[in-house]
Amino acid sequence: MNETQRLAIAALMHVTLRRKTGRVTDTEWMARNAEYAAEIMRYARERARDDALPELAELADRLEQAMFPKPPAPAPAAAPSTSEERSLLARYVGRLR
């Protein structure tokens, strides 16, 4: 995600935390600093659990996705499609050449 998207999510987190818990945060620092964002996510999840505020947990998940994106899963290897490819593969699998 780009910085503008991270900033938008951080702003939503800030507003929700301010309204629901009274906690004031720095949105720009949250969007740029992974350590600060991780601490805010931890706090938001804790308050979500303790105060039954599911929207805080959802925002923490969105912020985590934005700050720490997961790499895409590798594409599965294509199976041989023709009988010639299968015989060639069978000839070399498990053998040194």
With b meaning 16 or more CB within 10 Å and e meaning fewer, what string describes 37-53? bbebbebbbebbeeeeb
| Residue type for position 84 | E
Read off the pLDDT of residues 5-31 as tens digits, 9 standing for 90 and up. 999 999 999 999 999 999 999 999 999
pLDDT value at residue 20: 92
Closest CA to 12 of 51, 66, 52, 49: 66
If one compares 70 and 87, the residue with the highest pLDDT of the two is 70
DSSP category for residue 88: H
Q: What is the pLDDT of residues 40-75, one digit of tens each?
A: 999 999 999 999 999 999 999 999 999 988 887 777
Separation between Cα atoms, residue 79 and residue 64, nearest integer Å: 36
pTM over 0.75: no
Cβ–Cβ contacts within 10 Å for residue 33, how many?
14
